Amino acid sequence: MLVTDVNEALPGGSSLLRNEPVQARSSARLTGLLDAAASIIDEIGYERLTTAMVAERAGASIGTVYRYFPDRIAVVDALALRCMQRLTARVVEAVSHDDVTDWRQAVDLVVDAKVEMYRTEPGFRAIRFGDVPDLGAPQQAPVSSPLADSVLRLLVERFDVVADERTELAVQVVVEIGNGLLARAFVAGGRGDERFVEECRRVVTSYLEPVLTVG
Average pLDDT, the chain: 83
Write down the pTM of the prediction: 0.79
User: 204, 107 in Cβ contact below 8 A?
Assistant: yes
What CA–CA distance (Å, rounded) separates 18 from 118? 29
Residue ranges of domains in the chain, CATH in brackets: 2-74 (1.10.10.60), 84-212 (1.10.357.10)
The rounded average pLDDT for each run of 10 residues, N- to C-terminus, in the chain (215 residues) is: 39 48 72 95 91 96 94 92 91 89 94 95 78 46 75 91 93 94 91 96 96 73
Q: Could you tell me where the DSSP H helices lie in the chain?
A: 2-9, 24-44, 51-58, 62-68, 72-95, 103-120, 146-159, 165-185, 194-212
